[in-house]
Structure 1
Amino acid sequence: MAKSEPQGNTSPSQLIDARIKELGDWRGELLSRLRTLVKEADPDVVEEWKWRGVPVWYHDGMLCTGETYKNVVKMTFAKGAALEDPAGLFNSSLEGNTRRAIDFHDDEKIDEQALKTLVRAAVALNESKAKR
């Protein structure tokens, strides 16, 4: 999958920063926190900006997205159906054979360790497929 190109001289990371600021509410704060957790879980993650304004994190392929909606911030894991989720974080898009998502609502506590474990598992899955 091709990665997006920066728009003008603006990098994907700067576009994500701008989106967080533009939201200016709990969704921006939550997206910022999720972004930090992804980067803590995988310091080598690459940020991209896709589909007219969706932050996407890559490492040997797409890991997950950070979508913002009116009542939810959604992290969709591209290969979530192939990941073990012992903490039961996945609570959305459960019917498909590929993706899985986590819907976060206002004032919801994040199981940060479990989320980092899930991100690391996504990285490991992508790395294992990249070596083939």
Structure 2
Amino acid sequence: MGADPEIVEEAKWRKPSNPAGVPTWSREGIICTGETYKDKVKLTFAQGAALDDPAGLFNASLDGNVRRAIDIFEGDAIDAPALQALVREAVAFNLAKKKR
């Protein structure tokens, strides 16, 4: 998540069935989490419904009122500039929320 040098990466929610935990990126609140499945990697943005997504990266969890996700399948091309812009927007959202 090279979009912001102050983003913290850590593993959360460790349990016997997932001892490594869930990769989580945050700055003044969770930005997104990463989960691996047999057929995809899922990046779930905690406040994704509040973010603009002009590149149309969000392709999962679209019906929720809060979260949005990006499912990345083997062979998918990743639009790195668009993903970084989305991460920057999530950081800005968290910082603005903190000021309220």
Normalising by structure 1, we get a TM-score of 0.70
Q: Does 1:112 align with 2:80?
A: yes
Which protein is richer in helix relative to its size? 1
Aligned to 2:91: 123
1:56 aligns with 2:24: yes
Q: CA deviation at 1:42?
A: 1.1
Unmatched runs of 5 consecutive residues or more in structure 2? 15-20
Listed as ranges, the gaps of 5+ residues in structure 1 are 1-37
Deviation (angstroms), 1:51: 2.0
Alignment of 1:86-101 (within 5 A): 86-101=54-69
TM-score normalised by the chain length of structure 2: 0.91
- The structure whose RCO (Cα within 8 Å, separation 6+) is larger is 2
Residue by residue, what CA displacement relative to the aligned partner does 1:42-86 show, whole Å, maximum 9, x if unpaired? 111011211221100010000000111110000000000000000
Q: Deviations over 1:23-60 (max 9, x none)?
A: xxxxxxxxxxxxxxx1x101110112112211000100
Structure 2 letter corresponding to 1:131: K
| Sequence identity percentage | 64
Query: How many equivalent residue pairs?
Result: 94
Aligned CA RMSD, in angstroms, stands at 0.7
